[in-house]
């Protein structure tokens, strides 16, 4: 940004918010100033001080910009990211960056972007569920606390040179009982779990102790930190990225009496680690033995069939299924004969028309498969999840 743009971007920052940020990010108050300013110094940078005015006037934007520049210098960050953090001091800010050679341009594939969004949503939902009810697997991740957090989370702008997803998680997003002095908000517990769970998993991979971690998560005395749902979120962050890394970083929001948690603020997750994360995901997820057909309801997402010798299309179709035991839609592929394929085309052309069929659902990591499909029909009214049972 140019200087004038930076000055304009400081309009949403309050002076008290800067003071809260300094207080919770290791800056130390320096007493004795005769001017109406809050003066702070940093324990690791004795020559750098923050001078935060107590009163607002026409020079306030310049004073705020100078303070932001000092913080950026000490924290070795870009000035625009510091300004964004100061504007949202009441939120924990999670940044997810996918870094690889293929992402060096100014755009990425739509599917890749959706994968990162889905992964971030899954991580936050799973972490919120683990804070409310620690478990190695959550059959559903749509409990009220997770819904409140996702509803209040805002997304910031991305960056060139990588795909960076910035999520602002307000510390007051989840309604709860009044916070006691020795406790922390539900949202802070959730964001801390995101960083601690990822760090714990990476440490086990690097130390070759994944089996020990699995034993501790499944049979240990302490509540489990990592769930299969959380691992699924990490897997979605990778998508089809074949090299590079995913970087998670957290800027802890400033709130009175709420200290910065004992959790890493930056985590590097190389793509090479993902086979082990996938193994943990399978180990923590309960095995469902499905040896009978069931009724399946959903919508038609993609038609991939081919024209046969009879001039009619048949073949693979991708469905989004509503399952009674899942909070998220489950994508599944199925091969249809020409009659059923024609019905699928009709459902697809009508938009959000629902279909139903009988079949054996084989669960997969990213996409499932339906074997022995039969009775493929269109339904006109929107079903509930309970109608699958």
Mean pLDDT value across the chain: 84
What is the pLDDT averaged over residues 312-326?
86
Ranges in the chain annotated CATH 3.30.920: 3-87
pLDDT of residue 377: 92
pLDDT digits (tens, 9 = 90+) for 66-103: 999 999 999 888 888 888 888 877 888 898 888 776 66
Ranges in the chain annotated CATH 2.40.50: 294-388
pLDDT of residue 267: 93
What is the pLDDT averaged over residues 213-238?
90
User: Is the confidence at residue 197, as pLDDT, over 90?
Assistant: yes
User: Is the confidence at residue 386, as pLDDT, over 50?
Assistant: no
pLDDT digits (tens, 9 = 90+) for 279-312: 999 899 876 655 556 889 999 988 998 888 888 9
pLDDT of residue 4: 80
pLDDT of residue 387: 44
Q: Extract the tokens encoding 6.
A: 């930076």
Residues 294-388, CATH architecture: Beta Barrel (2.40)
pLDDT digits (tens, 9 = 90+) for 118-146: 889 999 999 999 999 999 998 888 888 99
pLDDT of residue 104: 62
Q: Extract the tokens encoding 96.
A: 């997810």
Report the C-alpha gap between 41 and 296 in whole angstroms.
62
Phi, psi for 310 (deg, rounded to 5): -85, 5
CATH number for 3-87: choose from 3.30.920, 1.10.20, 3.30.70, 2.30.30.
3.30.920
pLDDT of residue 388: 44
> Between helices 60-75 and 79-87, what is the axis angle to 10°?
120
């Amino acid at each position: 940004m140019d200087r004038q743009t930076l000055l304009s971007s400081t309009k949403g920052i309050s002076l008290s918010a800067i003071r809260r940020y300094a207080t919770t990010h290791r800056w130390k108050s320096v007493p004795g100033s005769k001017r109406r300013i809050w003066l702070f110094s940093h324990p690791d940078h004795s020559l750098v001080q923050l001078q935060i005015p107590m009163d607002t006037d026409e020079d306030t934007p310049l004073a705020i910009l100078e303070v932001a520049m000092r913080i950026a210098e000490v924290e070795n960050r870009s000035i625009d990211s510091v300004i964004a953090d100061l504007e949202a001091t009441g939120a924990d800010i999670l940044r997810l960056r996918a870094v690889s050679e293929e992402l060096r341009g100014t755009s990425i594939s739509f599917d890749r972007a959706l994968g990162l969004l889905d992964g971030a949503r899954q991580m936050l939902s799973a972490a919120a569920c683990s804070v409310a009810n620690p478990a190695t697997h959550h059959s559903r991740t749509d409990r009220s606390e997770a819904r409140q957090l996702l509803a209040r989370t805002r997304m910031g702008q991305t960056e060139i040179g990588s795909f960076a997803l910035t999520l602002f998680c307000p510390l007051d997003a989840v309604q709860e009982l009044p916070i006691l002095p020795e406790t922390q908000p539900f949202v802070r517990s959730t964001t801390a779990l995101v960083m601690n769970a990822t760090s714990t998993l990476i440490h086990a991979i690097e130390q070759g102790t994944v089996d020990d971690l699995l034993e501790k998560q499944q049979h240990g005395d302490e509540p489990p930190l990592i769930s299969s749902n959380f691992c699924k979120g990490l897997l979605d962050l990778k998508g089809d990225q074949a090299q590079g890394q995913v970087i998670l970083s957290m800027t802890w929001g400033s709130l009175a009496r709420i200290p910065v948690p004992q959790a890493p603020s930056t985590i590097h997750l190389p793509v090479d680690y993902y086979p082990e994360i996938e193994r943990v995901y399978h180990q923590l997820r309960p095995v469902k033995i499905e040896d009978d057909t069931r009724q399946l309801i959903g919508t038609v997402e993609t038609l991939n069939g081919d024209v046969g010798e009879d001039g009619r299309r048949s073949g693979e179709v991708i469905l989004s299924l509503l399952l009674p035991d899942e909070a998220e839609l489950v994508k599944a592929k199925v091969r249809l004969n020409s009659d059923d394929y024609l019905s699928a085309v009709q459902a697809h052309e009508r938009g959000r028309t629902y279909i139903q069929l009988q079949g054996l659902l084989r669960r997969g990591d990213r996409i499932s498969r339906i074997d022995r499909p039969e009775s493929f029909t269109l339904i006109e009214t929107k079903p509930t999840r309970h109608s699958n049972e």
